[in-house]
Amino acid sequence: MIADAPTARRHRWRTLDTAAGGLALDLGLYAVSTLFAAVTALTSTLLPHRAWGAVAAVGYLVATLAVLVQLLLRRRRPTTRLVGLPGRWAVTGFAWVSTALLPALWQSVERATGRTDRAQEEVLVVEQAGIRLLQHGTPYLGRDAIAALPAGDQLLGYTPYQPGMALFGLPRALADTWWTDARVWFALGTALALALAVAALRAAPGTVGRPLLGAHRSDAALLRGVQAATVLPICALTLATGGDDMPVLALCLLALALAAAGRPGRAGLAVGLAGALKLFAWPIALVLIVWGLTRRAGARVAAGAIGLPIAALLPALLVDRDALTENVLRFPLGHGLVTSPAQSPFPGQLIAATMPGGRLIAAALLVAAGAAIAVRLARRPPGTAATTALICGYGLLAAIALMPSTRFGYLLYPLALLTWAPALHRPDATPTTPTPDPLPGRATSV
């Protein structure tokens, strides 16, 4: 009976996910999101969040009404495309544009006209990093330079990202206008990576020639995964107000999609690009390398997954090693001149704040969780991309819960990864036979 528990949970989820052809869960998603956005608009203490909620609530409400119309049409004309997957994809696209892209552009335009309350701090940090990269060859300020800033500006002097993140700030170094807002480029990068992920999965082995019902289920799972990465309020809000996590997440999802498509080398490049932007991608890269080893392609995955972040770090290391260490090591570990404002009340943060020696206890729990995952990978390495996504999702969920300094918004990573996993399932694909990446000049369909 215990062994049947995971199967029973999957059955319950499938029953919920497929009710009324998937429209029932769509309705719940958009209705709850409407309420969340409205409450955010009325109660949030963060002005960019309030501005997002005012616009997004309308978008979610229209999407909710559209699904209600689809449900009514389904009762009268169940075979029409408007109530099937094409119609659901159309509503998802509208919801993303109206609840994420439109608020991001709106706030960018208002900021360009002089509003100073239309961007979170990370937008300013990334743009300043881009300006410093263009002018000085490194996106980082040294400890002495940060100490010389006014006390209220020292936090913004830190750039706790990998060097690649500064590329999204380069347009601001060239012009001060709405389209050089870092969020515009975060949105473009996110959309491009997700579009490539969808294309990779639709062209993956095991899709062509599959029975019609299996193809429908695969596309429905893919739609649900895209919804989790785009219109889920935690993702839409992040893109509209800050945005730096979204291209990182999208590249990780692209890497997993390429893994499912049997492209280990390209999967390594995608997760390597994510790792060159932010540390959150590094655990995913490690799990993908283990997956690659099960397919005799570990070196191909590691070449991109490790090589690209190292290549991004080298210029900053050569220009100012101390500045790099101060920003990407000392500050995230709590040894900077100021402390991180990431203090969401998760168990790790509560332990660190309330117990004697709490930071050490939280750190020990985090290490223990990492060791447990390492043992799991050693004893039962993931043989499929879907299993890889599940391990990454649950692992990041544990890490976010136990980190002494964390943010509620980081939950977008495990939520999206766990929802993405069903879309990676390829029953007709053989997990032990990798598809070789095409040589330069060789034709490919992916």
Contacts of residue 22, defined as CB under 8 A and 6 or more positions apart, other chains included, come to: 85, 88, 220, 223, 224
Residue 343 bridge partners (DSSP): 406
Q: Which among 68, 99, 118 is the end of a domain?
A: 118
Same domain, 67 and 93: yes
Place of tokens 């999609």: 257
Same domain, 224 and 324: yes
Domain count, the chain: 2
Same domain, 125 and 47: no
Same domain, 94 and 172: no
Q: Are 53 and 37 in contact (CB under 8 A)?
A: yes
Same domain, 279 and 135: yes
| Residue 274 counted as domain residue | yes
Q: Are 342 and 405 in contact (CB under 8 A)?
A: yes
| Residue 108 counted as domain residue | yes
Task: State how far the Cα of 62 lies from the Cα of 91, in Å rounded to an integer.
Answer: 9
Same domain, 106 and 242: no
Question: Which bin fits 383, alpha (ψ -120 to 50), beta or left (φ > 0)?
Answer: alpha
Q: Which two tokens mark 206?
A: 């095991």
| Residue 42 counted as domain residue | yes
Residue type at 129 in one-letter notation:
A
Closest to 328 (Cα-Cα) out of 271, 403, 404, 275: 275
Same domain, 113 and 125: no
Q: Which among 89, 118, 147 is the end of a domain?
A: 118
Same domain, 136 and 261: yes
pTM here? Answer: 0.91
Same domain, 126 and 114: no
Contacts of residue 219, defined as CB under 8 A and 6 or more positions apart, other chains included, come to: 85, 202
Same domain, 84 and 95: yes
Q: What is the pLDDT tens value at each position of the chain, 446 positions in all?
A: 444 555 666 667 677 787 888 899 999 999 999 999 999 999 999 999 999 999 999 999 999 999 999 999 888 776 666 778 899 999 999 999 999 999 999 999 999 999 999 999 999 999 999 999 999 999 999 999 999 999 889 999 999 999 999 999 999 999 999 999 999 999 999 999 999 999 999 987 654 434 434 556 788 999 999 999 999 999 999 999 999 999 999 999 999 999 999 999 999 999 999 999 999 999 999 999 999 999 999 999 999 999 999 999 999 999 999 999 999 988 887 788 988 776 778 888 888 778 888 778 888 888 999 999 999 999 999 999 999 999 999 999 999 998 887 788 899 999 999 999 999 986 544 444 454 554 333 333 33
| Residue 375 counted as domain residue | no
Task: State how far the Cα of 127 lies from the Cα of 221, in Å rounded to an integer.
Answer: 36
- Give the domain extent around 55: 18-118
Q: What angle do CA 274, 277, 282 make, to 5 degrees?
A: 55
Sign of CA dihedral 265, 268, 270, 272: negative
